[in-house]
Amino acid sequence: MIAVIRIHGMVDMNERLENTLSRMRLRRKYACTLIPENKVTLGMLKKVRSFVAYGDINDETLVELIAKRGKLLDKTKKIDAKKIAELIQKNENFEDTGIKPFFRLHPPRKGINSKQHFPKGVLGNHREKINDLLRRML
């Protein structure tokens, strides 16, 4: 499972890139979504890698992300983060979980180098370091 966070804003965006980000459900700045790792999604990530940060999310961060930032479709119920995390990992889709397929995050604490790629900044593939960035944004 890959976590993708949109870092670049909406101003002066190419229409093709905006459509790709919209298909990935990243319509606003600091929005996060979880996507399966397959040929189609990796192609989409390659296309928008200069506008997003992405990497492999671990189980602990996934449960924490769902518990703190997950929004239910039915607002009368409570979130069971561990159960929803297991469903997402098993099915790799959000239809059975009852939560929205994206997460709205806070800007990262301690700042962000948003215009630079991974060795110095935040854009691009972070692999396992995406978990640290996500925890700073919860």
Distance CA 119, CA 67 (A): 30
Contact 64, 20 (CB under 8 A): no
Query: Residue 105, SS3?
Result: coil
119 band by pLDDT with thresholds 50, 70 and 90? low
What is the value of pTM for the model shown? Answer: 0.87
Q: Where are the domains of the chain?
A: 2-137
Q: Reply yes or no on whether the pLDDT at 93 is more than 80.
A: no
Q: What is the pLDDT of residues 8-45, one digit of tens each?
A: 888 888 899 999 999 999 999 999 999 888 899 999 99
Looking at every residue in the chain, the average pLDDT score rounds to 86
CATH 3.30.1390.20 fits 2-137, yes or no: yes
pLDDT in tens, 75-88: 788 888 888 888 88
